[in-house]
Amino acid sequence: MKLIILDRDGTLNEDRDDFVKSPDEWRPIPGALEACARLYRAGWQLVVATNQSGLARGLFDVATLDAMHAKMNALLAQHGGRIDAVFFCPHGPADGCDCRKPLPGLFHQIAARYQVDLRGVPVVGDSLRDLQAGATAGCEPHLVQTGKGARLDARGLAEIVRQVPGTLVHADLAAFADTLLSHRADPSALASGASVR
């Protein structure tokens, strides 16, 4: 099974310091939906793993979150792609759950749902906690320089690579797709590539 696990805010759509609270506020990062569609057409199944503490904070409800994801998939369908499933943590930082990234609970849910070993499965995110959660579950970490990743200087990028060894850095989701698809004939070439792209 060809599976990719994506973060949402800052990776697929524009991040907001005050949270993405409605479908109107859910705006795709330029090129992200096209990248997802390219990956989907190449035979990859895409799933999202996302912290959504706005639920615990009372900023929106599950129906509104579902509406955001309906918009996401409707826009993706226009490009010939789709997200197979969205796994989300509804808890706040102090709730003590095991599904809020950087803990790997969402990834364990994904592994159980798809009955797959996540070793080597790409995880793509814009922050350290995305990569830590994925790496703990055995995923191959990929950082995009959008969202929170866009705020990192060279030292910040190097620190993430130090904390999550093997991290590959890409300008955005489109650059990640370029890299993955260019190495589809030889998957090991991706893992042996440079740490920063």
Catalytic residues: 7, 9
Element (H, E) at 4: strand 3-6
Distance CA 122, CA 124 (A): 6
HSE, side-chain direction, 13 A CA sphere, residue 52? 26
User: Residue 63 CB: number of other CB atoms within 10 A?
Assistant: 7
Q: Which two tokens stand for residue 175?
A: 């650059």
CA 39 to chain centre: 14
Q: Which two tokens stand for residue 77?
A: 């369908």
Contact 95, 56 (CB under 8 A): yes
